[in-house]
Amino acid sequence: MPFELSNDSSTFQRFIHHALRGMDFCVSYFDDVLVASESDIQHFEHLKQVFHRFEEYGVRLNASKCVIGKSSVKFLGHIVAPDGITPVPEKVSAITDFPEPSTVKELRRFLALMNFYRRFVPNAVRTQAVLNAYLKGVKKMTKHPSLGQRKPKTHLKSVNMSWQRPLFCTILLLMLLLL
């Protein structure tokens, strides 16, 4: 289905969610479906069920885009593996190598990047609160207001140090499977 109308994507998501209803081992997000199992045999059975359900609903798969039977996969900006869920290294390096923001626009970009992986950063709420404080009082009409003398350099360093010891959250994997 081409995503041309404004509600096409939500309609498609609802359709896939309905098609995979009752399959607790599946997580879907638009046209990405993750099937997670504890063993090879169980995974084969789960895949048979998913393929059968897709056949029932007339869903076609693009074989060249399918990744089947892997112990770890990239899914929605994360690496899902038996150990748990971890951030994709390229995205982490984009955050750690981010130049020190000198404008409000750059600081907002950095905070948006950091916010995506906040669950892996210890004390992320405190760090982000300090950085968000630099945004207070900024007028929205100004395109590129400068941060002036209030540069958040020390707080950025603490964020970078946090990324050197990522947390592995097995619980998040279980939560994803139960959705």
End-to-end CA distance of the chain: 24
d(CA 43, CA 71) in angstroms, rounded, equals 11
CATH of 7-86+152-178, one of 3.30.70, 3.50.4, 3.40.1350, 3.30.310: 3.30.70
Q: Is 156 exposed, middle or buried (0-12, 13-18, 19+ CB in 10 A)?
A: buried
Number of H helices, E strands in the chain: 7, 5
pLDDT in tens, 70-106: 888 888 888 888 888 888 888 888 888 888 888 888 8
Strand ranges of the sheet holding 78-81, from the earlier edge strand across to the other edge: 73-75, 78-81, 84-87
User: Is residue 111 within 8 Å of 132, Cβ to Cβ?
Assistant: yes
Which residues of the chain are in CATH 3.30.70 domains?
7-86+152-178
Of the listed ranges 21-30, 33-42, 163-172, the one predicted with least confidence = 163-172
CA atoms of 151 and 134, how far apart (whole Å): 8
pTM: 0.64
pLDDT tens digits, one per residue of 102-160: 888 888 888 888 888 888 877 788 878 888 887 876 655 444 455 554 555 555 555 54
